[in-house]
Amino acid sequence: SSQSALNFGAGPAKLPREVLAEVQDEILSYQNTGMSLMEMSHRSKEYGKINKSAQDSIRELLKVPDNYKILFIQGGGLGAFAAVAMNFMSRTGKADYAVTGTWSGKAAKEAEKYGDVNLVFPKLEKPGSIPDQSTWTLRPDASYFYYCDNETVDGVEFPYIPETNGVPIVVDMSSNIMTRKVEVSKFGCIFGGAQKNIGPAGVVVVIVRDDLLGAAMKVCPTVFNFTLVHKDNSVLNTPATFSVYVMEKVLQWIKQHGGVENMETQSGRKSGLLYETIKTSGNFYSCPINENCRSRINVPFRVGGPQGDEDLEAKFLEEAEKRYMYQLKGHRSVGGIRASLYNAITFEDVALLVKFMKEFQAQHQ
Ligand code: PMP
């Protein structure tokens, strides 16, 4: 049944069942108003409370200092790639990018439309490692330095915050926001789409240090201008009200489940179990990513040897679905298998996956 689906998708992804049940309860009449939240004005007092509560919850969960603003925009992660360039590039017209995989690569491409983009290390032949920081060519006059904390497609996660000697850091945390503690004060701007760890698709959370506001390029669309969006408290135009509403509930759920501290603990346990299974499989399963930057969130692996046996991988996916395990197919650009272990995925979900992997290996080795 649909109830028992184990959804390992990369995003949109599994949401906590309790949250969905609450949404179901309220869908026809939100807090006895006789209306769905979907049908209410973004300037209603009800939405105003949700908007504030979501911002407050993010501030509390990530311990966001007072000199940072929290905004909600639309346009997805891809929209944010353009938005950060248009908001922050103007100081010197230059920006430095670390390209560790698909999404930082796309972000750099987008930023090239708005200024001089330097890649701090040459394009990697194959993602899966992060060149040592001592080899990077960081420009002291860059307006900002950009990286992707967790590459969703490639399974590469930064084990540290880069040192930029004062150049503001802009980071994409779309796939690992709220999965570990973060020292917000080290960043100029943190952004992330909600559709993996904190909600449904449709909203991007932007956390921005206030001294970086006020410098958007003239061409910057109003809806992407962080200064103007902040000035109107993220209701400058009609936001994705339903997405923010569900996100607000997921944030409450995270608070009720031990906050980001516990999400971090669980992420470690879940990914630890999966990587251990891969490691002890005698190369039946293999993960191509360097051990020092393996993602705790998106785990790509091959079946049937390090190069992957595509027939066996197709069989793996087919057998997985018979056990209600879905969306395990690797991104089309890298192939193989990918298990995404976002916050709503439980340790028990991963234990079931691992049990299946062991049985599949026993049958097909
Ligand atoms: N950044 C990262 C790290 C992502 O994983 C994604 C989407 N998977 C994006 C950006 C792009 O997000 P969107 O599809 O919302 O534009």
ipTM comes to: 0.99
Active-site residue flag, 172: yes
Annotation marks residue 116 as catalytic: no
Confidence check: pLDDT of 2 > 90: no
Q: Which residue has the higher pLDDT, 346 or 4?
A: 346
Task: Give the Cα separation of 343 and 312 in Å (integer).
Answer: 29
Task: Give pLDDT, residue 3.
Answer: 54
Rounded CA separation 107/149 (Å): 13
Residues with CB under 6 A from ligand 1: 11, 76-78, 103, 148, 152, 172, 174-175, 193
**81 CA closest ligand 1 atom index:** 10
What is the predicted pLDDT for the residue at 140?
98
CA atoms within 13 A on the CB side of 129: 11
pLDDT, one tens digit per residue, over 304-337 is 999 999 999 999 999 999 999 999 999 988 999 9
pLDDT attached to residue 1? 46
Model confidence pTM above 0.90: yes
pLDDT of res. 8: 98
Among 149, 172, 253, 349, the active-site one is 172
How many A from CA of 103 to the centre of ligand 1? 7
Report pLDDT digits (tens) over 98-140.
999 999 999 999 999 999 999 999 999 999 999 999 999 999 9
**Catalytic status, residue 103:** yes
